Amino acid sequence: MTSPHKTHHVDYAVVGSGIAGLRAAIELSAAGSVLVLAKSNLSDSATAWAQGGIAVALSDEDEIGLHEQDTLNAGDGLCRPEAVALLVEEGPKYITQLIEWGTEFDRAGTRLAFTREAAHSRSRILHAHGDSTGREISRALLARAHSIPQLHLRAHAFTTELIVERGRVDGLYFIDETDETLHELRASAVLLATGGLGQIYRETTNPEVATGDGMAIAYEAGAVLSDIEFMQFHPTALAIQGAPRFLLSEALRGEGGVLRNIGLERFMKKYHEAQELAPRDVVARAIVSEMQRTQSTHVYLDMTKKSQEFLKKRFPRIYETCLSYGLDLASDLAPVCPAAHYMMGGVKTDLKGHTSLPGLYAAGETAATGVHGANRLASNSLLEGLVFGALAGQAMMKDAPAGKRKGQALPGSPAPLPGNGPGVQKEAMKNGGAKNGALKSPAAACATLTKIRELMWHNVGIMRNGKELAEGIKQLEGIELPKCEKSGRSGHELRNLHTLALVMARAARAREESRGSHYRSDFPFRNDEDFAKHSAVQKGKDVRFEV
């Protein structure tokens, strides 16, 4: 490796600036200096893209126990009950705190407005500005973070690997994309909160930054990954040629939207009694089945029974985005297809964010807490990031060596730390900004990435079988990654996606059953006797299953 341009020291390092990373960083700032690294803009995260809302049992008609049961039901027998209990019990406290910090959730008069989504037994979904919930939460958390002197934020800093010494994670290396210099960061603890890995698939609702970096570097360092075979595919992404797969929220179907095939027939009643409000995996497979049966590339989402006024107010961002592609949801049918959306698995953690490596923690979509089981309940992901981000921060402070619990800077700590304050993003962009991400890399890398994404979509996608999984693994193993003289962000992202593609394909082949989002046509039934267990994968070892 090239010698680092500079070495920095900090009490706590957080990789990722979404809801989990920022909430953990705010918690940690009470005990020492914190540096948050974001590989793109500070606000460029899956959190900021989240439309659906955040689920919490706060209304008078709801109960924590009902939220708990709905989550367990959605997880298809694979949730860790203690993790689910913690999520729903702690949720109200942390949501109330978000409101105190200035998060503006939608209200009906002075009361919070709750909506219902598929598989929820009560109306418990909070929204902000209709369909911009994640963006509003991100705004409030960033504002809070910027107000804390001990908390420093650095944009366009891509983490390439963890530093492991004597079996403990002691820091990390990152590339400053404004000048392509390599930096070393030493910390008493590192939290990975880099989000998901949706870019591993040809069709995805995820932002370009979702390349699984935290999971991949944890795996390379020797950490255990768990339940990585469970990728949730969102049933309804906008399917217009040349347009990104913009997510058309489940809330649209919650408000009465219906699905029609290209013959304009409403088809969901053939697949599930709950029709359009069936669990996501059921709806996604039903759409795929209809597409195959009618030899089409999409089905339609029909919102035409709703007025333009209603749609503009309830779904402003979705309505305007569709309009920009020539679709008026009030009068036009929207072409949709499933797309990779959310990773239920990730870096295996306990309830406090500890991974299998001392000094390393994980939270949010990067982590596998067992909260989501085999299938995430809609709108639980933001809540998980919020609650488990805070809990991981608390654990990191508690575990820190005694001398580092009182906020003392480590010897050699620069003052101020690199990346303090909101001006960082502007400065980084002025100096040329981030180098292009995974989708805009050099020709050879781009061709390899396209091959990986196509392979994953066809061989490790919504409908799986042993023969195609084995063929996918063989082809992935045969891929040679392009060699670059100087590997920048895009080269690392490609390597990370290739690593995780193989891990996911191997875990999917090992799970010889159908459960939640993992569907095997050659093993179409759930097998609790052999597989009511969590997969565990470590570098250099075979996939194993454990309770």
Tens of pLDDT, residue by residue over 429-444, are 333 333 344 444 478 8
Active-site pick, 23, 154, 253, 280: 280
Is there a single domain that holds both residue 306 and residue 393?
Answer: no
pLDDT at 341 over 70: yes
The per-residue pLDDT for range 20-75, each reduced to its tens digit, is 999 999 999 999 999 999 999 887 777 766 667 999 999 999 999 999 999 999 99
Which one, of 383, 378, 521, 285, lies nearest residue 73 by Cα? 378
Q: For the domain that residue 317 is a member of, what is the CATH number?
A: 3.90.700.10
Last residue of a domain, one of 396, 430, 464: 430
Residue pair 98/137 in contact by the 8 Å Cβ criterion: yes
Range of the domain at 317: 234-337
Residue 250: what pLDDT?
82
64/203 same-domain check: yes
Q: Which residues contact 56 (CB under 8 A, 6 or more apart)?
A: 67, 91, 92, 95, 124, 126, 383
Same domain, 47 and 164: yes
- Same domain for 467 and 542, yes or no, is yes
Amino acid 402: pLDDT = 65
Question: What is the rounded average pLDDT for all residues in the chain?
Answer: 90
pLDDT of residue 305: 97
- Look at residue 399 and tell me whether its pLDDT is greater than 50: yes
Residue 335's closest CA among 373, 297, 283, 362?
Answer: 297
Q: Between residues 201 and 417, which one has the greater pLDDT?
A: 201
**What CA–CA distance (Å, rounded) separates 82 from 61?**
24
CA distance 134 to 54: 8
Q: Assess whether pLDDT exceeds 80 at residue 423.
A: no
Positive or negative, the CA dihedral 440, 444, 447, 448 is negative
Structure-derived torsion over alpha carbons of residues 25, 182, 346, 383, reported in degrees to the nearest 10: 20
> pTM for this one?
0.90
Clarify whether residues 219 and 239 are in a common domain.
Answer: no
Of the listed ranges 327-336, 397-406, 514-523, the least confidently predicted one is 397-406
Q: Is residue 1 part of a domain?
A: no
Same domain, 413 and 505: no
How many structural domains is the chain composed of?
3
Among candidate residues 288, 303, 337, the one where a domain is terminated: 337
Q: What is the CATH number of the domain that holds 531?
A: 1.20.58.100
Both 132 and 73 in one domain: the answer is: yes
Q: What is the pLDDT of residue 244?
A: 83
333 with 348, same domain: the answer is no
Same-domain status, 393 and 358 = yes
Q: Does residue 442 sit in the same domain as residue 525?
A: yes
Write the DSSP symbol of residue 209: T
Asked whether residue 78 falls in the same domain as residue 14, the answer is: yes
376 is catalytic: no
**Residue of 501 and 242 predicted with greater confidence:** 501
283-306, pLDDT tens digit by residue? 999 999 999 999 999 999 999 999
Burial environment of residue 101 by CB neighbours within 10 A (0 to 12, 13 to 18, 19 or more): middle
Mean pLDDT computed over 414-443: 42
User: How far apart (Å, rounded) are the C-alpha atoms in residues 189 and 31?
Assistant: 12
Give the residue-averaged pLDDT of 339-355: 97
Kindly indicate the confidence band of residue 482, based on its pLDDT and cuts at 50, 70 and 90.
Answer: confident
pLDDT of residue 422: 37
- Beta-carbon contacts of residue 364 (< 8 Å; ≥ 6 apart): 16, 18, 19, 20, 21, 193, 195, 381, 384, 385, 388, 389
